[in-house]
Every structure is written in structure tokens, then in C-alpha cells.
Amino acid sequence: MQDAKEYLKLAKAIQDAPYAPPCMVTDPELWFASNEDEHTMPRVAKKFCEECPVRQQCLEYALKVNEQYGVWGGLTAKERQALRAKGRGQGRPRRNPQK
């Protein structure tokens, strides 16, 4: 039930965004790279995320529901796992996690 609430919050943010997030208008495989693309594809996806109007909400969603795959909010699954390990996943994530 909590995951559904979090998803609805993210969906609302996407609906209210001034323009469509890059993940909504590009190939989904970019955000969920296969093993053979594990270095190149996430870098490209993360670059798209830099200017996303819902990046923060996306990252918050991924942290709250413990999303295990793909690039969400500009972070890979490994980066989100490291963020949670530092104790940042319990509260609000940093505004610009990449910087």
C-alpha cells in the first residue's frame, strides 16, 4: 500500500511537470541497462536525469520503495544502495546527490 502511495506521488509530479521527463519519451532500456551495457548506458541515462523536472521526486520514490534496478533520480541501484548505507535513505535525500 505504501509503495502505491509513493507511486501516485511520483505520477502526480510527472503530470504536473512543465515538460515530460526524459524517461517518459526515450527507450526504457536506457534506464535499465543489460550487463553488456552496464557502464555506458547508466552514464547516458544519468546525463538525461540532470535536467529532469521531477528528478528529486523520482529519487525519493526509488529510495522509499527500495527500487533495486535501473537509474532513478540520477542514481544507479548501486549508488542508491550506498546512499542508504550512509543513512541518507531514511530521511530526505540530498537535493543534488551527484554534486
| Dihedral over Cα of 29, 33, 34, 40: its sign | positive
Q: Report the amino acid identity of residue 90.
A: Q
pLDDT in tens, the chain (99 residues): 778 999 999 999 999 999 999 999 999 889 988 765 667 888 999 999 999 999 999 999 999 999 999 999 999 999 999 998 887 545 555 565 554
The model's pTM is: 0.80
Residue 86: what pLDDT? 85
Domain residue extents for the chain: 2-85
Residue 99: what pLDDT? 47
Axis crossing angle, helix 2-16 with helix 55-64, rounded to the nearest 10: 170
